[in-house]
């Protein structure tokens, strides 16, 4: 290997030459993957501690998911929603039952699920709650990340996501995350929904104070306001529960799902809610050519089956406790704070030592892939198929980087 010319620089140069610069990727060019490991174009292996921002909760190329995709590829891949295909009802039923809801509306990307939730909440507000037309308000939290469409960035507080993309969509009230008093003050007669992440991932894996969502649920119920849980990153086993909001035994009116729902194979997202909410939609009011396509439904149905056993949730809880114990031992030794639940952690690196970007670059040199956010924070979110020994290896590499 040492005598061979590396293919990485050329591949990176080609990507830089031919693609818009909307990402700042690490200098790694992945060519293959299995389980919790990826291999680059030069044959170097890396332990994946990002898992596609939770899109790869079940690891790379999970055998059951790959088998479902292969079987469907040989039969039918797309019909559009102009017709019903034979995978559609079983996927929707399985996901609805997993969520404890009446109905599911499948889409493709997480941002589409959020946009769907916004539209449904507004229409519900006008038709059911009786809010005057065009006066619906949705309460959101500062430092949120729900996607990058023009409507979604209209209620972002991240300058990189928002600046120079106006004019912005009205109808949103931004409050501090984790502050029940601020929420109570923000809810008014025209409020139709409260849209929150049970854990704010992009902000640095911020966990709200204990009891926060219990109070949010009580306030929403008292004011006839929909509670929308954006579980696109936090849901489907990531935190040791099926949904992160389950840690407070709270049931939202609407789940927004994505990422892991596609098994790391195809983009799949969905909104799940009861008929009293999702039932406000009528034909022609919302849709997607690829939403709920046969391939997506075949993979998504298999994802639901994996979650129905509870095994992945248990792995995340048990291995997450191990991960957080190992990371907690680094506090005071180059780490200022560790946050998170299950196999999800935000690690604040001492900025006197290095930036988050420098930390993840040095981890990559040591064969560990992670991602920085907001200056000095790195996010760790390994696939749920990871082992305790692999966690120990990754944390040991982080410890070495911080020396």
Torsion of CA 379, 384, 388, 390, to 10 degrees: -60
Number of structural domains (the chain) is 2
One domain, residues 171 and 251: yes
Q: What CATH code is carried by the domain that includes residue 114?
A: 3.40.640.10
One domain, residues 188 and 273: yes
Cβ count near 398 (within 10 Å):
25
One domain, residues 120 and 219: yes
Is there a domain that residue 345 lies in? Answer: yes
Is there a domain that residue 70 lies in? Answer: no
Cβ count near 309 (within 10 Å):
9
One domain, residues 271 and 363: no
One domain, residues 207 and 333: no
pLDDT tens, N- to C-terminus, the chain (403 residues): 456 899 999 999 999 999 999 999 999 999 999 999 999 999 999 999 999 999 999 999 999 999 999 999 999 999 999 999 999 999 999 999 999 999 999 999 999 999 999 999 999 999 999 999 999 999 999 999 999 999 999 999 999 999 999 999 999 999 999 999 999 999 999 999 999 999 999 999 999 999 999 999 999 999 999 999 999 999 999 999 999 999 999 999 999 999 999 999 999 999 999 999 999 999 999 999 999 999 999 999 999 999 999 999 999 999 999 999 999 999 999 999 999 999 999 999 999 999 999 999 999 999 999 999 989 999 999 999 999 999 999 999 999 999 9
Report angle CA 16, 18, 24 to the nearest 5 degrees. Answer: 35
Last residue of a domain, one of 271, 287, 308: 308
pLDDT, position 3: 61
Residue of 316, 387, 311, 310 whose CA lies nearest to 345: 316
Is there a domain that residue 69 lies in? Answer: no
Last residue of a domain, one of 262, 291, 308: 308
One domain, residues 210 and 226: yes
One domain, residues 52 and 93: no
Query: Which phi and psi angles does 126 have, rounded to 5°?
Result: -75, -45
Is there a domain that residue 208 lies in? Answer: yes
Is there a domain that residue 2 lies in? Answer: no
| Cα(251)–Cα(172) distance, integer angstroms | 23
Is there a domain that residue 67 lies in? Answer: no
pLDDT, position 1: 45
Q: What CATH code is carried by the domain that includes residue 371?
A: 3.90.1150.10
Is there a domain that residue 1 lies in? Answer: no
One domain, residues 296 and 323: no
Evaluate if pTM is beyond 0.85: yes
One domain, residues 254 and 132: yes
Tell me the catalytic residues. 145, 230, 259
How is residue 145 written in tokens? 């990340």
One domain, residues 317 and 374: yes
Last residue of a domain, one of 281, 308, 335: 308
One domain, residues 43 and 81: no
Residue 350 lies in domain:
8-62+311-402
pLDDT, position 4: 83
Is there a domain that residue 83 lies in? Answer: yes
Report strand pairing: 191-196 vs 137-141: parallel
One domain, residues 136 and 200: yes
């Amino acid at each position: 290997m040492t005598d061979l010319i590396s293919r990485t620089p050329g591949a990176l140069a080609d990507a830089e030459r031919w693609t818009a610069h909307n990402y700042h990727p690490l200098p790694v060019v992945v060519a293959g993957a299995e389980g919790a490991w990826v291999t680059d174009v030069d044959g170097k292996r890396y332990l994946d501690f990002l898992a596609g921002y939770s899109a790869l909760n079940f690891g790379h190329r999970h055998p059951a998911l790959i088998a479902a995709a292969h079987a469907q590829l040989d039969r039918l891949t797309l019909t559009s929603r102009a017709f019903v295909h034979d995978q559609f009802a079983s996927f929707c039923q399985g996901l609805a039952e997993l969520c404890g809801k009446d109905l599911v509306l499948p889409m493709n990307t997480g941002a589409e699920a959020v946009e769907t939730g916004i539209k449904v909440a507004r229409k519900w507000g006008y038709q059911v709650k009786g809010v005057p037309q065009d006066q619906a308000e949705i309460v959101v939290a500062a430092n949120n990340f729900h996607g990058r469409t023009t409507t979604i960035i209209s209620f972002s507080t991240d300058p990189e996501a928002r600046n120079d993309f106006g004019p912005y969509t009205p109808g949103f009230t931004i409050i501090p995350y984790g502050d029940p008093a601020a929420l109570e003050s923000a809810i008014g007669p025209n409020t139709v929904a409260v849209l929150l992440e049970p854990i704010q991932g992009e902000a640095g894996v911020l966990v709200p104070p204990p009891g926060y969502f219990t109070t949010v649920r009580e306030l929403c119920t008292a004011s006839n306001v929909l509670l929308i849980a954006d579980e696109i990153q936090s849901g489907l086993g990531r935190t040791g529960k099926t949904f992160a909001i389950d840690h407070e035994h709270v049931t939202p009116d609407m789940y927004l799902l994505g990422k892991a729902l596609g098994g790391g194979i195809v983009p799949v997202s969905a909104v799940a809610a009861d008929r009293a909410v999702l039932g406000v939609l009528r034909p022609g009011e919302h849709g997607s050519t690829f939403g709920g396509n046969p391939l997506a439904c075949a993979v998504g149905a298999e994802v639901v089956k994996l979650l129905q056993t509870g095994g992945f949730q248990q792995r995340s809880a048990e291995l997450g406790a191990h991960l957080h114990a190992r990371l907690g031992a680094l506090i005071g030794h180059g780490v200022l704070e560790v946050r998170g639940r299950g196999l999800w952690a935000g690690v604040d690196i001492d900025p006197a030592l290095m930036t988050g970007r420098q930390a993840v670059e040095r981890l990559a040199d040591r064969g560990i892939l992670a991602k920085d956010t907001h200056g000095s924070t790195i996010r760790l979110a390994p696939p749920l198929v990871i082992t305790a020994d692999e966690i120990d290896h990754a944390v040991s590499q982080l410890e070495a980087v911080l020396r």
